[in-house]
A and B are shown apart, each in its own frame.
Chain A
Amino acid sequence: MTAAKFFRGRVAATLEAVDQLCSQLRRGELVRIPQGERFAVELLLREALTNAVVHAAEADEVWCEVELLAHGIAVRVEDNGNGFDWRRHMRATSAAAGESGRGVPILRRYSSALRFNEKGNSVEAIRVFQQGDGNA
């Protein structure tokens, strides 16, 4: 398991590449995450990456960063596409029985702060660890 606190990498705009990177995160090969936070961090990364792969108009390149902070983690994903309408998704609620549209609500619920750029091709999710320390 790595002791690294920062990872930046390019990800192919495919779901298989998303799976591969998330597997690396799960195995502790990217940054060291406290045990009790690993599911939440992987979910944030997976949703942000999948959003870029599935919804980013004309994106063929995706970059992601995972940075361990003093009391949490930052997940950042950026693609070279034309963005998407994140404002509409931010208004969505999670209670309906609709079959789609839960990616952004999940990002909101699992992060302490969530920010998209104006164009919608870059997102940063900050999660404050709920276990209280940064020890893995």
Chain B
Amino acid sequence: MPSFETRREGERATLTPAGDVVASSVGELRPVMRDLVREGVREIVLDLGNTQMLDSTGIGLLLSGHNSLAQAGGKLSVIEASKDVLELLRTMRVHQHFDVSGRRA
């Protein structure tokens, strides 16, 4: 079973990991994000609705994606983050680099 879903609409893509975004799983996500940018995607929305845990390696992946998109004139955003993941992103000041938002009630 794939560990993520990708939905593409022109220059926008939504990437939904199936579970945690941590050291063991970023290896699979990183080339996907890189290839999307190479293929001309300029907006990546990372949907963390299925993600309970994000670690420092996962944060590194988000920033890597942000940096690649920014260089190409695009942007990354994170949606559907759990309360704990949202707090982590804000504590580590990741929200200063790109939009992050939590789960709808």
On whether the beta carbons of B92 and A109 are closer than 8 Å, the reply is: yes
A129 to chain B, nearest CB (A): 15
Which residue on A lies nearest to B60, using beta carbons? Answer: A99
* A: contact size bracket: 20 to 34
Q: Hey, which chain B residues are within 8 Å of A50, CB to CB?
A: 22-23, 55-57
The B3-45 residues at the A interface (CB cut-off 8 A) are 20, 22-24
B91 to chain A, nearest CB (A): 5
The A6-44 residues at the B interface (CB cut-off 8 A) are 15-16, 18-19, 22, 26, 39-40, 42-43
Q: Hey, which chain A residues are within 8 Å of B53, CB to CB?
A: 22, 39, 42-43, 46
On whether the beta carbons of A102 and B92 are closer than 8 Å, the reply is: yes
* B: contact size bracket: 20 to 34
Known: A18-B23, A47-B56, A103-B56. A94 touches B93 (CB 8 A): yes
Is A100 at the interface (CB under 8 A from chain B)? yes
Distance A99 CA – B91 CA, assembled complex (angstroms): 16
Q: Hey, which chain A residues are within 8 Å of B52, CB to CB?
A: 26, 39
Is B79 at the interface (CB under 8 A from chain A)? no
Distance A24 CA – B64 CA, assembled complex (angstroms): 30
From B55, B64, B93, A43 is in contact (CB under 8 Å) with B55
On whether the beta carbons of B96 and A95 are closer than 8 Å, the reply is: yes
Distance A46 CA – B93 CA, assembled complex (angstroms): 20
Known: A43-B53, A47-B56, A106-B56. A19 touches B24 (CB 8 A): yes
On whether the beta carbons of A95 and B93 are closer than 8 Å, the reply is: yes
Is A90 at the interface (CB under 8 A from chain B)? no
Chain B residues near A (Cβ < 8 Å): 20, 22-24, 52-53, 55-57, 59-61, 63-64, 66-67, 84, 88, 91-93, 96-97
Chain A residues near B (Cβ < 8 Å): 15-16, 18-19, 22, 26, 39-40, 42-43, 46-47, 50, 53-54, 94-95, 97-103, 105-106, 109-110
